[in-house]
Amino acid sequence: MRSLPENRKQGSLKVKFTVIIGYLLVVAVMALGLVSLYNNLVNYSNTRIKGEDMSELLIVGNTLSMLYEIESEQNLINAENAEQYFHKYDSIAPKIRANLDQLKQVAVDSSRIEKLDSIQLLVDRKRENLQEVAVLLDSIRRAPRIVVQNESSYVPLKLNQEITDYLESKNLNSADTNKSDTSVVAGNRRGFMDRVRDVFVARSDSTVVIEKRSIVSDHDLKLIVDTIINKVRYSERLDLERQRQFQLAYLTRQELMSQTNRMLTSRIDELLKGIEQEELEKSLQLLIAKEQTISGSQRTMFIAFCVALLIAFVFAILFLVDINKSQRYRRQLEASNKRISDLLASREKLMLTISHDIKAPMSSILGFIELMDIHGDRKNETYLNNMKSSGEHILELASALLDYHKLEEGSWQLKESNFNLYGLIDNTASGFEPLASRKGLEYSVENNLPEQLAVYSDLYMIRQIMNNIISNAVKYTSEGSVRVRAWLKDDDSPKRLLFSVTDTGEGIDDADQQIIFQEFRQLDNPLGEEGSGLGLAITKGFIEALNGTIHLNSRKGEGSEFIVEIPLKDAKEEIQVESRDKPEILQQYLEGVSVLLVDDDPVQLTMTSEMLAKKKIKSVTEINPDKVLSLLQSSSFDILFMDIQMPGTDGLTLVEKIRRLGSEQVKNMPVIGLSARSDISKEKMKSAGFTDFLIKPFTSDRLYSTIWHYVGSGNPEEKAFMPEEKQSFDEKGARALIEFVSDDKQTSAAILQSFINETGECHIQLKEAFRKKEEKVAQGIVHKILPLFRLMGNKPLIGLMEKLEKGETLSEDEESFVLNKIEEHLEEATTLRKEIDKN
């Protein structure tokens, strides 16, 4: 069966493929529709382009306009403007001829070509007519001016008398009278072209006038007058006849030209109508093609739309099916993510509360192991040593898990302080010498640091880095040697600590060198040594947090060398150099010291007081933080150890109140904070008013060293933070409280009685809180007793108590279950206490 992520992944891929295929099909259909539409539009465009070729019609219109222009001016032609009109006609005629040639070139119909040829001939004939008309008009213009008389053909009496009077006035009545005779001799008739040229080029008149004069006698006067009159009349008749001939010829030519123009216009109209009819047919065909194109395009788009709609409908159904699956997978995944988030949050809360849940009981266990005096009983001493080793291993494992969690989450904060680096290196490296000796290894430490070297850094990180690397070297080296070296590199700023560990173990392959710094990765080793797989991952994380580097040089079968380089800061205050030889804390130096212990855990109070009693140190225990102030005012103490997390008034609030007391002795009294939490910095505790800070669990030596440091004159070497631990216990009942001190009846009885008293009182208070629905009160009570019940391992009871501690509300049945189980454990502890007393 596939898992939820796999199903979701498959569903997501299916939806993607469905969407892609659907889009591709729709796009393909639309593309085909667009291609078909484009082809229709192209065909229509080509048809339209052909139909819109109006060049023939434009040429015809242009030609017709020019002919109309000539014809309109032809009606106004006369003798004076004939030459100008002929020039204009000659300038337009070539254009008309060129237009006709263009029409011939584009014409595809032979009948149209014949029509164009006819028009060309008519245009040429019209030009000839214009030439003859121009000649006639020119002749008329050049002819002499005569008087046309249509009524009579003789000279009137008045004219005759005027002639006689004129002759007498000239003395022509004498005997000898001058006679003159004038004759007009016409020139030779010229050709047509010469006469046309004479129209444009002026020539002298061809008529020759010959005048003859003679002296006539008086008796011939009358005869002369008659003769003159007859000649005049004859000349007039000749000129009039010629004029009439010219006019007749002009009218004939004009009529011929008009006929030619009418024929030309008729032919052009006929041609134009033919072209117009063709254009109308083309327009009609274009409209039909347009209608067909639009219909075809509409049909194509309708088909494409229907197909696309069908595809969209089909794929919409598929989408809905896939989306429903996806939504179902999403809801399942969200539920899984929520569960994972809840689990991670629960894990985080668990990791943060491990210090109180595990370290406090483990502190009690290790403390009571130290209190057991079984010298001489080698077997029991071996048992206790094994138990102590197992407990310390649990603490180390829990520390590794917590450190890894903080590094992974990014919540690790540097806890920098001033310390002597030489002493830290010396003490840490020397601590592995017994283990190396038991394995038969040659173990050497070269501490080349200055003994006065004081730095400001995270002491815990540097110690853990050294512990992890040296521990691995000793653990995975079966024979040979382990060499530890430390030196200072101060040729640049800042100064840098160089630390190397060299062993003669199995070595590491090149491929494995890339993965050993990963979390939960362990290499196969022939020694069968096992670990958490977090040591080097945490080490690398610490080194990077300190802005340092780590290098590995190793070959398979030749051992390994780890080199660490860490930048250092100078100490911010002077540090007293610790002696290399730890002074023996003698009992007489601690006798008479008065210690006040404040903790809400009675088992922790009992264990700590027993530790102090071994050195004959006076101790007063107080479980109620509200009574501490009155106790300090009524009694005098040298040092105060106080838990910082207690119900009601916590340690931070209480120490602030203590520092405000009027007594100088109380103000200056060392107050040591106690907690199983490792996420609290020492500087924060000092700023709150604490003198120092110890992390649970702590050994008796550490407890004595702290007292010696602040009350005596010693300098404890170890007052640093210890990591948190994590451990689970099987259900053991009340015997788990005394399992490690079962041979000491007196101590066992005291522990059980303390549990009966404190838990019995808490049982009553919890029952009352349930009755009054006081959730905060119930939460504080459960927080106080939960570590002991975790030690006893009743998982159903622990689960409900954890809900109460988180502030969650229990049902009435769950509340009854909690009260009944607590009562059962009290009865069990009472029975066990009685059994111890009987024995």
pLDDT tens column, 46-97: 655 454 455 666 777 777 777 777 777 666 666 666 667 777 777 887 888 8
| Strands 639-643 and 671-675, bridge-based pairing | parallel
What pLDDT does 76 receive? Answer: 62
pTM over 0.75: no
What pLDDT does 153 receive? Answer: 44
With beta carbons less than 8 A apart as the criterion, state whether 66 and 95 touch. yes
User: How far is residue 415's CA from residue 425's CA, in Å, rounded to a whole number?
Assistant: 18
User: How far is residue 793's CA from residue 787's CA, in Å, rounded to a whole number?
Assistant: 10
- Average pLDDT for runs of 10 along the chain of length 839: 51 64 72 71 59 64 76 65 73 81 77 78 75 68 47 53 67 51 52 52 52 54 67 70 74 72 70 69 76 75 78 77 78 81 68 57 65 58 64 62 64 74 86 80 88 84 86 84 88 82 83 67 51 68 86 83 89 56 50 86 81 83 87 87 81 84 79 75 78 78 82 46 37 69 71 83 88 86 80 78 82 86 87 80
Q: Which residues contact 546 (CB under 8 A, 6 or more apart)?
A: 414, 457, 458, 461, 462, 566, 567
**Residue whose C-alpha is closest to residue 606's, from 782, 371, 359:** 371
What pLDDT does 641 receive? Answer: 92
Helix H or strand E segment including 302 = helix 221-354
The first and second tokens of residue 535, run together, are: 């040591």
What pLDDT does 485 receive? Answer: 92
What pLDDT does 86 receive? Answer: 72
What pLDDT does 578 receive? Answer: 46
What pLDDT does 721 receive? Answer: 33
Burial readout 262-291 (b: 16 or more C-beta within 10 A, e: otherwise): ebbbebbeebbeebeeeeeebeeebeebee
CA atoms within 13 A on the CB side of 806: 15
Tell me, what amino acid is at 241? E
Long-range contacts of 799-803 (CB under 8 A, 24+ apart): none
What pLDDT does 307 receive? Answer: 81
Long-range contacts of 476-480 (CB under 8 A, 24+ apart): 476/503, 476/505, 476/506, 476/525, 476/527, 476/529, 477/439, 477/441, 477/503, 477/504, 477/505, 477/559, 478/439, 478/505, 478/526, 478/527, 479/440, 479/441, 479/504, 480/441, 480/442, 480/504, 480/505, 480/559
Angle at 629 between CA 623 and CA 631, to 5 degrees: 70
What pLDDT does 160 receive? Answer: 63
